[in-house]
């Protein structure tokens, strides 16, 4: 019997896939989920640290957000959790409003996304100008990379300024404090990650590379910071859920940040689902996916986590590893939970320069260097729009960059009128 058309766009894919589920499918999902968890674990820690949060917050987000995105989402193979796209906005919200402010903004963003899903605005993502997305993605990549230079080089400085125009001179002034041990660990990690990607793309190269270089630093007693030395012991259990302390005044001042988080979560997750469709031959349900992002962000905030969204690189890893249904994403979340409970003390030995190298490579991939040449051959208006969004992202903040970029981009689209919706060509971010 056919499902009612009015309900199908909102129906989680897991309900569809379980109708024909089998033991071979479960085995494929089990292996893929474990593989993705080994990729997500170091990334979640590194993203949380770069966001100005406790590293445990990244693990909480991968577990809670990743579980809800797979359970409720509209894609068969989407993997959710914290992503690099959120680093800049999360860092800014924490710096301005404190971590409790971020929790409130994340919960509000979840409510916005749930409303957007119910209003069926998921299909509208194709009308967001691609130049805007490319511009703020490159801008975010630049900010992420510069934020990791201190740890990669082992520089000694009291605090790294949040503002990009202040950060670069501060890093230059601290150049005399270069730590060769930190630089060696960071570069070795980056070389190993690239080597694993080329020689053994199906292997969990991220965690293996970070683990090997961190172990080398510990055994050789190298003077480099670790997660444990900087943040203390990682917790071995999830925190108890707690409703954020809301007030109308607090919600009003955090509303712009909530909209930015919601926009990023919606864009990143739907781009990821589109990429997954091309890789797997599937067809995602955009409105169900937006709803899932909303519930995932609300859930993550209740456990004190970071904003969550579909992660393009982890989703692509899931497809390559043989993931077939949302069960793989649930296995990924469960594996990270088990790792948290069993191996939290070991994670404390991960070296900060190793995680910095991992994030700098992540930023490089986010910038999509293989597409730079095509940007130069794009129409002049698109090139200027990309540059405008990029510069605003780096020197102001994402709220301004997204607002101005989307407004100008939609105005250009209306002027052209005959330009079709964007056909996204998005690599692993």
CA angle 212, 217, 219 (to 5 degrees): 90
Please check whether residue 1 lies inside any domain of the structure.
no
pLDDT in tens, 275-301: 888 888 888 899 999 999 999 999 999
Please check whether residue 377 lies inside any domain of the structure.
no
Please check whether residue 390 lies inside any domain of the structure.
no
pLDDT band at 69 (very low <50, low <70, confident <90, very high): very high
Check: CB of residue 300 under 8 Å from CB of residue 307.
Answer: yes
**Residue 383 parent element (H or E):** helix 380-395
Please check whether residue 193 lies inside any domain of the structure.
yes
Query: Angle formed by the axes of helices 164-173 and 130-147, to 10°?
Result: 30
pLDDT in tens, 202-226: 778 889 999 999 999 999 999 999 9
Using a CB cutoff of 8 Å and minimum separation of 24, what contacts does 117-120 make?
Answer: 117/10, 117/287, 117/288, 117/289, 117/290, 117/291, 117/292, 117/293, 117/294, 118/10, 118/291, 120/9, 120/287
pLDDT band at 406 (very low <50, low <70, confident <90, very high): confident
Q: 């129409």: which residue's tokens?
A: 379
**Whether the predicted pLDDT of 425 surpasses 60:** no
d(CA 270, CA 178): 41
Structure tokens at 299: 């859930």
Q: What is the mean pLDDT of the chain?
A: 89
pLDDT at 1: 41
pLDDT band at 413 (very low <50, low <70, confident <90, very high): confident
pLDDT at 126: 63
pLDDT at 271: 82
d(CA 239, CA 304): 8
DSSP state of 226: B
CA angle 57, 62, 65 (to 5 degrees): 100
pLDDT at 306: 97
The mean pLDDT value for 248-271 works out to 92
pLDDT band at 426 (very low <50, low <70, confident <90, very high): very low
d(CA 326, CA 330): 7
Instruction: Name the 3-class secondary structure at 182.
Output: helix
Question: In Å, what is the CA distance from 377 to each residue of 19, 383, 415?
Answer: 47, 9, 20
d(CA 44, CA 61): 8
d(CA 352, CA 379): 42
Q: Which among 338, 313, 310 is positioned nearest to 326, based on CA atoms?
A: 310
pLDDT at 405: 86
pLDDT at 428: 46
**Whether the predicted pLDDT of 429 surpasses 50:** no
Q: How many domains does the chain have?
A: 1
**Whether the predicted pLDDT of 242 surpasses 80:** yes
pLDDT at 410: 80
Please check whether residue 36 lies inside any domain of the structure.
yes
The mean pLDDT value for 23-42 works out to 94
Structure tokens at 353: 């320069």
DSSP state of 239: P
The mean pLDDT value for 32-40 works out to 93
pLDDT at 201: 82
Q: Against a cut of 0.85, is the pTM above it?
A: yes
Specify which residues 309 forms β-bridges with.
81
DSSP state of 20: G
Lowest-confidence region among 121-125, 129-133, 144-148, 344-348: 121-125
Please check whether residue 305 lies inside any domain of the structure.
yes
Residue 46: give the domain boundaries: 24-364
Please check whether residue 421 lies inside any domain of the structure.
no
Alpha-helical segments (H) within 204-247: 205-219, 227-231
Please check whether residue 345 lies inside any domain of the structure.
yes
Between 11 and 108, the more confident residue is 108
pLDDT at 275: 80
pLDDT band at 422 (very low <50, low <70, confident <90, very high): low
Say what percent of the chain tops pLDDT 70: 94
Say what percent of the chain tops pLDDT 90: 63
């Amino acid at each position: 019997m056919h499902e009612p058309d009015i309900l199908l766009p909102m129906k989680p894919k897991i309900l569809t896939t379980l109708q024909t589920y089998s033991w071979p499918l479960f085995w494929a999902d089990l292996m893929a989920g474990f593989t993705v968890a080994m990729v997500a674990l170091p990334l979640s820690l590194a993203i949380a640290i770069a966001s100005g949060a406790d590293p445990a917050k990244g693990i909480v987000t991968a577990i809670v957000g990743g579980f809800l995105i797979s359970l409720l989402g509209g894609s068969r193979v989407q993997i959710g959790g914290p992503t690099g796209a959120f680093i800049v906005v999360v860092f800014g919200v924490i710096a301005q409003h404190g971590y409790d402010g971020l929790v409130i903004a994340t919960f509000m963003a979840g409510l916005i996304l749930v409303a957007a899903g119910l209003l069926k605005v998921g299909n509208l993502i194709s009308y967001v100008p691609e130049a805007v997305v490319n511009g703020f993605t490159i801008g975010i990549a630049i900010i992420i990379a510069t934020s990791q230079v201190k740890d990669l080089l082992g520089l000694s400085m009291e605090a790294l300024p949040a503002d990009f125009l202040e950060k670069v001179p501060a890093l230059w002034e601290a150049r005399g404090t270069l730590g060769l041990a930190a630089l060696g660990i960071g570069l070795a990690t980056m070389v190993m990650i690239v080597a694993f990607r080329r020689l053994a793309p199906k292997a969990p190269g991220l965690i293996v590379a970070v683990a090997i270089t961190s172990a080398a630093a510990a055994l050789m007693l190298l003077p480099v910071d670790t997660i444990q030395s900087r943040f203390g012991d990682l917790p071995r259990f999830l925190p108890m859920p707690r409703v954020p302390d809301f007030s109308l005044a607090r919600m009003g001042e955090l509303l712009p940040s909530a909209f930015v988080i919601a926009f990023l979560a919606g864009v990143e997750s739907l781009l990821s689902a589109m990429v997954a469709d091309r890789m797997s031959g599937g067809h995602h349900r955009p409105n169900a996916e937006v709803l899932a992002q909303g519930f995932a962000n609300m859930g993550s905030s209740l456990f004190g986590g970071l904003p969550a969204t579909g992660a393009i690189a982890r989703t692509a890893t899931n497809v390559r590893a043989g993931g077939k249904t949302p069960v793989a994403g649930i296995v990924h979340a469960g594996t990270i939970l088990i790792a948290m409970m069993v191996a939290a003390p070991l994670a404390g030995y991960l070296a900060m320069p190793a995680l910095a190298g991992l994030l700098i490579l992540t930023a490089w991939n986010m910038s999509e260097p293989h597409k730079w040449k095509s940007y130069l051959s794009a129409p002049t208006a698109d090139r200027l729009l990309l540059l405008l969004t990029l510069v605003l992202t780096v020197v102001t903040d994402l709220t301004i960059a997204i607002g101005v970029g989307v407004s100008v981009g939609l105005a250009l689209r209306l002027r052209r009128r005959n330009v079709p919706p964007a056909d996204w060509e998005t690599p692993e971010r």
